[in-house]
Chain A
Amino acid sequence: MPADTTGAPLAIDARGIRRIYKTKPPVVALDGIDLQVEPGELFGLLGPNGAGKTTLIKILTTLLLPSEGTARIFGFDVVTRTKELRRIMNMVAGGEQSGYGMLTVHEQLWMFSQFYGLGVREGRRRVEELIEAVGLAEQRMQRVSTLSTGERQKMNFARGLLNDPWIFFLDEPTLGLDVSAARSVRDLVRAWQAAVPGRTILLTTHYMAEADELCERLAIVDHGKILAIGTPDELKRRVQRESIFRLEVDQLDGGPATLARLPGVTSAVIAANGRQEGDETSQTVAVNLALEGDAALGSVVNALGGIGSRIVSLQKSEPSLEDVFVELVGRGFDEAEANGSPSSGGRDPNDEPPAHAERPPTGEPAEVGR
Chain B
Amino acid sequence: MSSVYVNRPTASPQAAAAWDTRRQLLTNVRGIGGRAYPRVSGILRERSWLFFEILLPFMTTSGFVFVYRALHAPPAYIGFVVLGGAMTAFWLNVMWMMAAQLYWEKDQGNLELYFTAPVSMMSILLGMAVGGMAMSFARAIVVLAIGAIVYGVQFQIEQWALLLAVFALTLAALYGLGMVLASLFLLWGREAWHLTQLTVEPIYFVSGLNFPVGRLGALGALAIGTIPLAVGLDAMRQLAFVNAPGLGGTPSPGIEAGILVVMTVIFIGVARWMLTRLEMLARREGKLTMRWG
Interface residues of A (CB under 8 A from B): 8-9, 21-22, 39, 58, 61-65, 74-76, 83-91, 93, 96-100, 102-103, 107, 110-120, 123, 126, 129-130, 132-133, 159, 161, 163-164, 166-167, 191-192, 195-196, 198, 349-350
Which B residues are CB-close (under 8 A) to A113?
Answer: 34
Q: Is B1 an interface residue (CB 8 A)?
A: yes
**B229 vs chain A, min Cβ distance (A):** 27
Question: Would B116 and A63 count as touching, CB distance under 8 A?
Answer: yes
Of the candidates B45, B119, B124, the one whose C-beta lies within 8 Å of that of A102 is B45
Q: Is B46 an interface residue (CB 8 A)?
A: yes
Question: Would B119 and A115 count as touching, CB distance under 8 A?
Answer: yes
Which B residues are CB-close (under 8 A) to A21?
Answer: 286
Number of residues from B at the complex interface, CB < 8 A: 51
Q: A114-B33, A115-B31 are in contact. Are A102 and B42 (CB under 8 A)?
A: yes
CA distance A270 to B110 in the complex (A): 55
CA distance A93 to B34 in the complex (A): 22
Question: Would B288 and A63 count as touching, CB distance under 8 A?
Answer: yes
CA distance A8 to B3 in the complex (A): 27
**A318 vs chain B, min Cβ distance (A):** 31
Which B residues are CB-close (under 8 A) to A349?
Answer: 286, 290
Q: A21-B286, A114-B31, A166-B13 are in contact. Are A97 and B109 (CB under 8 A)?
A: yes
Of the candidates A93, A103, A130, A192, the one whose C-beta lies within 8 Å of that of B41 is A103
Which A residues are CB-close (under 8 A) to B13?
Answer: 9, 39, 74-75, 88, 166-167, 198
Q: Is B52 an interface residue (CB 8 A)?
A: no
Pick the 10 closest A-B CB pairs, nearest first.
A114-B34, A117-B27, A129-B4, A133-B2, A84-B17, A195-B5, A74-B13, A115-B117, A166-B13, A114-B30
Stretch at the interface among B18-26, B174-182, B253-261: B18-26
Question: Would A65 and B14 count as touching, CB distance under 8 A?
Answer: no
CA distance A123 to B8 in the complex (A): 15
Q: A62-B116, A116-B119 are in contact. Are A103 and B285 (CB under 8 A)?
A: no
Question: Would B37 and A111 count as touching, CB distance under 8 A?
Answer: yes
Which B residues are CB-close (under 8 A) to A9?
Answer: 13-14
Q: Is B273 an interface residue (CB 8 A)?
A: no
Question: Would A107 and B5 count as touching, CB distance under 8 A?
Answer: no
Question: Would B4 and A87 count as touching, CB distance under 8 A?
Answer: no
Of the candidates A110, A117, A123, A133, the one whose C-beta lies within 8 Å of that of B119 is A117
**B130 vs chain A, min Cβ distance (A):** 13
Q: Is B155 an interface residue (CB 8 A)?
A: no
CA distance A167 to B14 in the complex (A): 12
Chain A residue at minimum C-beta to C-beta distance from B17? A84
**A163 vs chain B, min Cβ distance (A):** 8
Cross-chain pair count, CB within 8 angstroms? 152
Q: Is B283 an interface residue (CB 8 A)?
A: yes
List residues 105-138 of chain B with CB under 8 A from any CB of chain A.
Answer: 108-110, 112-119, 124
Which A residues are CB-close (under 8 A) to B282?
Answer: 63
**A119 vs chain B, min Cβ distance (A):** 7
Q: Is B215 an interface residue (CB 8 A)?
A: no
Q: A22-B285, A129-B2 are in contact. Are A86 and B109 (CB under 8 A)?
A: no
Q: Is B9 an interface residue (CB 8 A)?
A: yes
CA distance A86 to B27 in the complex (A): 12
Question: Would A64 and B5 count as touching, CB distance under 8 A?
Answer: no
CA distance A76 to B31 in the complex (A): 24
Q: Is B71 an interface residue (CB 8 A)?
A: no
Question: Would A63 and B112 count as touching, CB distance under 8 A?
Answer: yes
CA distance A22 to B281 in the complex (A): 13
Which B residues are CB-close (under 8 A) to A107?
Answer: 37-38, 41
Chain B residue at minimum C-beta to C-beta distance from A111? B34
Question: Would A88 and B17 count as touching, CB distance under 8 A?
Answer: yes
Which B residues are CB-close (under 8 A) to A76?
Answer: 17
Can you list 10 A-B pairs with a CB-CB distance of less than 8 A? A62-B116, A63-B116, A64-B286, A65-B284, A102-B45, A112-B113, A115-B124, A129-B4, A164-B7, A191-B1
Question: Would B5 and A196 count as touching, CB distance under 8 A?
Answer: yes
**A105 vs chain B, min Cβ distance (A):** 13
Residue with the highest number of chain B CB atoms closer than 10 Å, among A64, A113, A130:
A64
**A104 vs chain B, min Cβ distance (A):** 9
Question: Would B38 and A100 count as touching, CB distance under 8 A?
Answer: yes
Q: Is B35 an interface residue (CB 8 A)?
A: yes
Q: Is B70 an interface residue (CB 8 A)?
A: no
**B112 vs chain A, min Cβ distance (A):** 6
**A93 vs chain B, min Cβ distance (A):** 8
Question: Would B289 and A133 count as touching, CB distance under 8 A?
Answer: no
Q: Is B6 an interface residue (CB 8 A)?
A: yes
Which A residues are CB-close (under 8 A) to B284?
Answer: 65
Chain A residue at minimum C-beta to C-beta distance from B110? A98
Question: Would A98 and B108 count as touching, CB distance under 8 A?
Answer: yes
Question: Would A350 and B34 count as touching, CB distance under 8 A?
Answer: no
CA distance A272 to B189 in the complex (A): 55
Q: A64-B289, A98-B109, A118-B30 are in contact. Are A74 and B14 (CB under 8 A)?
A: yes
Of the candidates A8, A117, A195, the one whose C-beta lies within 8 Å of that of B118 is A117
CA distance A319 to B64 in the complex (A): 79
Q: A64-B283, A88-B16, A117-B26 are in contact. Are A132 and B116 (CB under 8 A)?
A: no
